[in-house]
């Protein structure tokens, strides 16, 4: 009996759907489907987790007969009948022979319903605010709902995490573009130019907002690290190179944006045309650097984790 047939039988015996098993193993439902049709083979780590989950040995999972749930019955003569050999069917569509058909998955899952609801809310908000004359505000608010709706429809794993990141990025970009707030502003309240230019009430408001952004960034980074803690990230040359590139790009972006944004801000009133270029640069400087920092920190900790 093949590994795919064994896995299908064990999953059915445990009362798990392909989606439920995929979520437990942190893979996509398509991967589970390919395993059960013998189109691909799970990695060793996934095989070990499957064996532990179904309380079987690796040998029983890979080569054993998972359908044998009771001892073989004796014949009237007192002997044990020999198993009837399976005659493989001719493979015509790439499916394994003598396989029971996989049960169809329900179309309206919880994630799909959430995605449709979010997209519908985004459309309603956009239409309502356009009719009220707030096209820009409607486009901004609806884009958050549209992004989260697409994430819930298209991301099989961790849609809540990616939706939270999308909301954080949208809000952070808005605060950075229209108010000039960054997460590092709360760390530099004693700079002379900052204290002398702004009144105390405005400075306090900006520092509180900056502290909230920093706290949200730390919380999102911790959530991401916790969610990916059991995901393999071995110390291969490719992964090491990825971490190094993340840190290099993050450091380079700070230097480049610092040389472009700060001199422009010191010009006093640079004009509308300059501000049209300065706003995206400030968003990229603040939001982009923080996102790169979060990605670099998560991958560095994952790389340093003992296998």
pLDDT digits (tens, 9 = 90+) for 170-213: 999 988 888 878 888 877 755 554 555 556 677 788 888 889 99
Is residue 275 pLDDT above 60, yes or no?
Answer: no
pLDDT value of position 196: 53
Q: How far apart are CA 34 and CA 206, in angstroms?
A: 52
Answer whether residue 175 is part of any domain. yes
Is residue 49 pLDDT above 60, yes or no?
Answer: yes
Which has the minimum average pLDDT: 160-169, 228-237, 296-305?
228-237
Which has the minimum average pLDDT: 69-73, 190-194, 232-236?
69-73
Q: How far apart are CA 245 and CA 171, in angstroms?
A: 27
Domain boundary among 62, 80, 106: 62
Rounded to the nearest integer, the mean pLDDT of the chain is: 77
- Angle made by CA atoms 283, 284, 287, in degrees to the nearest 5: 70
Residues 294, 185, single domain; the answer is yes
Domain boundary among 21, 44, 62: 62
pTM of the full structure: 0.61
Q: 95, exposed or middle or buried, with CB in 10 Å at 0-12, 13-18, 19+? A: middle
pLDDT value of position 41: 85
Which CATH number characterizes residue 56's domain? 1.10.260.40
Name the nearest CA neighbour of 18 among 39, 1, 38, 35: 35
Confidence band for 117, pLDDT divided at 50, 70 and 90 = very high
Answer whether residue 299 is part of any domain. yes
Question: How many CB atoms sit inside 10 A of residue 268's CB?
Answer: 5
Residue for token digits 């472009």?
Answer: 260
Using left for φ > 0, alpha for ψ between -120 and 50, and beta otherwise, residue 304 falls in alpha
Dihedral sign computed on CA atoms, order 31, 239, 251, 294: positive
Q: Could you give phi then psi for residue 57, rounded to 5 degrees?
A: -85, 165
Give the domain extent around 56: 3-62
Mean pLDDT of 113-127: 91
pLDDT value of position 38: 82
pLDDT value of position 93: 44
The total number of structural domains in the chain stands at: 2
Q: How far apart are CA 128 and CA 138, in angstroms?
A: 8
Answer whether residue 98 is part of any domain. no
């Amino acid at each position: 009996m093949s590994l795919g047939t064994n896995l299908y039988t064990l999953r059915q015996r445990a009362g798990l759907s392909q989606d439920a098993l995929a979520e437990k193993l942190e893979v996509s439902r398509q991967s589970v489907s390919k395993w059960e049709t013998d189109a691909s083979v799970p990695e060793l780590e996934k095989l070990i987790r499957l064996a532990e989950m179904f309380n079987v040995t690796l040998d029983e999972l890979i080569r054993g007969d998972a359908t044998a749930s009771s001892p073989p019955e004796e014949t009237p003569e007192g002997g044990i009948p020999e198993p009837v050999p399976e005659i493989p069917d001719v493979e015509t569509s790439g499916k394994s022979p003598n396989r029971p058909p996989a049960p169809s998955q329900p179309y309206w899952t919880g994630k799909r319903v959430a995605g449709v609801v979010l997209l519908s809310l985004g459309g309603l908000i956009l239409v309502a605010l356009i009719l009220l004359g707030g096209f820009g505000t409607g486009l901004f608010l609806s884009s958050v709902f549209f992004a989260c709706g697409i994430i819930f429809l298209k991301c099989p794993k961790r849609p809540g995490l990616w939706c939270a990141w999308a909301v954080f990025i949208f809000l952070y970009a808005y605060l950075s573009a229209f108010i000039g707030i960054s997460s590092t502003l709360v760390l530099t309240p004693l700079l002379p130019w900052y204290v002398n230019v702004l009144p105390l009430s405005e400075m306090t408001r900006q520092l509180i907002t900056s502290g909230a952004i920093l706290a949200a960034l730390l919380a999102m980074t911790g959530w991401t690290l916790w969610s990916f803690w059991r995901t393999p990230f071995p110390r291969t040359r490719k992964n090491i190179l990825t971490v190094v590139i993340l840190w290099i790009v993050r450091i380079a972006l700070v230097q480049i944006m610092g040389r472009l944004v700060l001199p422009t801000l010191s010009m006093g009133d640079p004009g509308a045309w300059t501000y049209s270029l300065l706003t995206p640069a400030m968003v990229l400087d603040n939001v982009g650097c923080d996102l790169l920092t979060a990605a670099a920190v998560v991958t560095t900790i994952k790389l340093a984790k003992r296998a």
